[in-house]
């Protein structure tokens, strides 16, 4: 099976580049994959049936157009996986239906799996504290004493406090998304994901992602 992953940006590309061989085994044995990053998550276009704006490289803006293109390929061994963050959206189920609705604009619907990281991809890292400890030996795990896995709490901010990443501490107060923050997120992906035990991860949204990919690959694990 060949998987085409559509993700928001570089940190997701970095994380999946490391995680996919853990989930499906070595590349080309027998599965293959390609990960496509975008310029953020963006917004759904007003008319998903129309050609997207060339100046908008965000994932949601281009999603229906890309799904139509994949549908035209009509490859039986092709799976499209769309991975997005829930962010501050109030209802995961509503967001999932909005994603599924983009397939309604396809003449031929590609085999597509939609998965949502709740609240953000950093929740997957918080689901494996041993991996965080390996990557950041001075991590402050007492901060997680009252953390509920995959809750809506400001996930990247929480991880920044746990790993004691001083380079982004000043961003916690401003809540600004800057180049420095994106660089920090990529570094977390580089340092933590190699240590992750994907069979023991406590993040429900990661487990659903992992098992969904394996199911479509014919390697379903778990229920």
Tell me, what CATH number does 108's domain have? 3.40.50
Q: Is residue 142 part of a domain?
A: yes
**Within 13 Å and on the Cβ side, how many CA atoms surround 120?**
19
78 and 174 share one domain: no
68 and 176 share one domain: no
Residue 136: per-residue pLDDT: 96
pLDDT band (50, 70, 90) for residue 220 = very low
Residue 75: per-residue pLDDT: 83
Q: Is 177 in contact with 202 (CB distance < 8 Å)?
A: no
Q: Is residue 223 part of a domain?
A: no
Q: Does residue 59 or residue 174 have the better pLDDT? A: 59
What pLDDT digit, counting tens, does each position of 41-55 carry? 999 999 999 999 999
Lowest mean pLDDT among 8-12, 118-122, 219-223: 219-223
77 and 99 share one domain: yes
96 and 181 share one domain: no
pLDDT band (50, 70, 90) for residue 222 = very low
36 and 115 share one domain: yes
pLDDT band (50, 70, 90) for residue 174 = low
**Within 13 Å and on the Cβ side, how many CA atoms surround 67?**
27
pLDDT band (50, 70, 90) for residue 113 = very high
160 and 206 share one domain: no
50 and 75 share one domain: yes
What proportion of the chain, given as a percentage, has pLDDT over 90? Answer: 87
String of b and e for 109-130 (b: at least 16 CB within 10 Å)? Answer: ebbbbbbbbbbbbbbbbbbbee
Lowest mean pLDDT among 58-72, 89-103, 130-144, 162-176: 162-176
Q: Is residue 222 part of a domain?
A: no
112 and 213 share one domain: yes
For the residues 212-220, what does the mean pLDDT come to? 86
Name, in order, each residue with C-beta under 8 angstroms of 135's C-beta and a sequence gap of 6 or more.
Answer: 163, 188, 191, 192, 194, 195
pLDDT at 215 over 60: yes
- The Cα-based distances of 10 to 33, 72, 184, 187 in angstroms read 16, 27, 11, 10
209 and 105 share one domain: yes
129 and 205 share one domain: no
Helix (H, G, I), strand (E, B) or coil at 79: strand
76 and 171 share one domain: no
The single residue listed with the structure tokens 């901060």 is 143
Residue 173: per-residue pLDDT: 63
- Round to whole Å and give the CA distance between 4 and 137: 35
For the residues 53-77, what does the mean pLDDT come to? 94
- Round to whole Å and give the CA distance between 12 and 138: 25
Long-range contacts of 180-184 (CB under 8 A, 24+ apart): 181/156, 182/9, 182/10, 182/11, 184/160
Describe the crossing of helices 179-192 and 155-162 by its angle, rounded to 10 degrees.
60
Residue 164: per-residue pLDDT: 84
Q: Sheet containing 32-37: which strands, arranged edge to edge?
A: 32-37, 2-7, 78-85, 112-117
Residue 223: per-residue pLDDT: 28
Q: Is residue 129 part of a domain?
A: yes
pLDDT band (50, 70, 90) for residue 219 = low
- Round to whole Å and give the CA distance between 1 and 149: 31
Structural domain including 7 reads 2-119+198-217
Number of domains, the chain: 2
71 and 103 share one domain: yes
């Amino acid at each position: 099976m060949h998987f085409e992953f559509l993700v928001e940006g570089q940190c997701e590309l970095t994380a999946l580049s490391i995680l996919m061989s853990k989930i499906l085994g070595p590349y080309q044995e027998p599965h293959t994959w390609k990960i496509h990053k975008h310029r953020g998550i963006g917004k759904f276009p007003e008319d998903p049936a129309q050609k997207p704006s060339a100046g908008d490289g965000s994932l949601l803006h281009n999603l229906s157009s890309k799904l139509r293109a994949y549908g035209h390929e009509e490859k039986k061994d092709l799976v499209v996986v769309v991975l997005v963050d829930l962010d501050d959206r109030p209802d995961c189920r509503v967001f999932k239906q909005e994603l599924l609705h983009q397939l309604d604009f396809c003449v031929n619907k590609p085999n597509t799996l939609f998965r949502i990281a709740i609240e953000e991809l950093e929740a997957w890292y918080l689901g494996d504290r041993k991996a965080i400890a390996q990557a950041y030996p001075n991590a402050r795990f007492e901060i997680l004493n009252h953390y509920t896995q995959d809750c809506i709490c400001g996930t990247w901010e929480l991880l920044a406090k746990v790993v004691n990443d001083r380079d982004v501490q000043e961003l916690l107060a401003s809540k600004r998304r800057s180049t420095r923050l994106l660089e920090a997120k990529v570094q977390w992906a580089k340092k933590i994901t190699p240590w992750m035990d994907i069979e023991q991860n406590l993040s429900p949204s990661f487990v659903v992602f992992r098992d969904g990919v394996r199911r479509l690959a014919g390697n379903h694990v778990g229920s």
